[in-house]
Amino acid sequence: MTSSDAIVAEIPRLRRYARALTGDPARADDLVQDTLERALGRFFLFRPGNLRAWLFSIMHNLFINQAKARRDGAWEDEAVLAELPARATQDDALEVRDLARCLQALPPEQREVLLLVGLEEMSYEEAARVLGVPLGTVMSRLFRARERLRGLLAGLPAQARLKVVK
């Protein structure tokens, strides 16, 4: 397998992560394309065993820079979210939309950890390396992300409130 084949093989995973991260298909694919371009420009000296983690770390850097450029406040906060009309139904598309909206309401750094662990199934250590932060930071972000997502999902209108347990 050549290096470009190996990278192509990672595209679906990158797209899934980017989709969940940005909440927007077109923006997600832009992010994937930026990631691929940057990765190929830096492919020299790359260790094949870590290709996925390496690509994700590139995407993380691009995403964080973009998030900063969007002035750190582009995501909706909880108060705004609660007023958006949304109904919980059994319908798949709505379920996806609700989750996607709640994810966007998480601070980007919490969203990243939640997705790397919960969706991409990375180990906590891998997530720490991808994000360039200590393991303890990954864990505390994960706790907060889960707690906050619980509150957001529970706060959706017409959806049963989940009991908050200390």
Partner 1 sequence: MNSPVSQEELHAYADDRLPPQRRAEIQAWLQARPELQAEVDLWRAQNTRLHRSFDRVLDEPVPARLSEAVRRRRTRPQRLAAALGWLALGGVLGFVLRDAYQARTAPVQASLPRQAAIAHAVYAPEVRHPVEVGAEQENHLVGWLSKRLGAELKPPRLADAGFALVGGRLLPGESGPVAQFMYQDARGQRLTLYVRSDARDHRETAFRYAREGGIGVFYWLDGKFGYALSGELPKDELLKVATAVYKQLNP
Q: Which is nearer to partner 1, 61 or 66 (CB)?
A: 61
Q: Which is nearer to partner 1, 67 or 102 (CB)?
A: 102
Gap between the Cα atoms of 112 and 108, Å rounded:
6
Asked if 91 interacts with partner 1 (CB under 8 A), we say no
Asked if 128 interacts with partner 1 (CB under 8 A), we say yes
Q: What angle do CA 101, 17, 113 make, to 5 degrees?
A: 80
Torsion angle of C-alpha atoms 137, 144, 130, 101, degrees rounded to 10: -160
Q: What is the CA radius of gyration of the chain?
A: 17
Asked if 44 interacts with partner 1 (CB under 8 A), we say yes
Asked if 113 interacts with partner 1 (CB under 8 A), we say no
Judged by CB under 8 A, which of 1, 41, 79, 83 binds partner 1? 41
Judged by CB under 8 A, which of 74, 80, 84, 96 binds partner 1? 96
Gap between the Cα atoms of 109 and 89, Å rounded:
29
Asked if 75 interacts with partner 1 (CB under 8 A), we say no
